[in-house]
Amino acid sequence: MNKQEVFNKELSYIVNDDVRESLSFMIDKIPDYFFTIPAASTGKYHPAYAQGDGGLVRHTKAAIRMAYELFGIYKFEARKKDLIIMALLLHDSVKKGEEESKYTLFDHPLVACEFIRKYQKNLKISKDEVDFVCECISSHMGKFNTSEYSDVILPIPKTPEQKFVHMCDYLASRKVIKIEFDSNNNIVDE
């Protein structure tokens, strides 16, 4: 499978070549299971389109599309938009760990940051930009930052960009928002 091809549309939203190349590199490192699992094992917190085979891919695409649409009213500079897209594409990239565990890891946002930092020397973006992406990812759960099954307390979004990433992820998980996908898991534009 060509993992980058799965996200061709989302990569096309990125205007800075170094960010696109860095994200492309990271996409190739995403574990294979990411491309087949549903967004949530129970289906309790995600819409129908995020269930079944490829559900996590569709959820990720929906979160990025939310950002893309909202960029029209949230005036982030172009480079920040690119880094936000990178954060959204990678936010659940290791949801079950680098080696697939049976269940979602509650601390998967922190695991995703470790995953990205492991490859930092291969990325064409700065350390500060990697930190920015990781801060957006680590806080993407918003107020859902604790679990009865874990001692980990995830960070709460503080900056406008962190709050934006959380909002896009949250909107992509709402059952009242319907998004149509084609057979290749691409969002159908009307």
> What residues have CB less than 8 Å from 161, skipping those under 6 apart?
76, 80, 83, 84, 132, 136
What pLDDT shows up at residue 141? 97
Residue type, 111: V
What pLDDT shows up at residue 42? 73
Per-residue DSSP letters for 87-122?
A: HHHHTTTTTTTTTTPSS--TTHHHHHHHHHHHTGGG
Question: What's the topology of domain 13-172?
Answer: Hypothetical protein af1432 (1.10.3210)
Conformation bin of residue 70: beta by default, left when phi > 0, alpha when psi is -120 to 50: alpha
Rounded to an integer, what distance in angstroms lies between the CA atom of residue 18 and that of residue 133?
A: 14
Residue 35's φ and ψ, nearest 5 degrees, are -80, -5
Query: pLDDT means per 10 residues in the chain (190 residues)?
Result: 96 98 98 95 81 96 98 96 98 97 95 98 98 98 96 98 98 94 91
Comparing CA positions, the residue from 69, 94, 100, 48 lying closest to residue 164 is 69
Residue with tokens 């928002």: 177
What pLDDT shows up at residue 41? 75
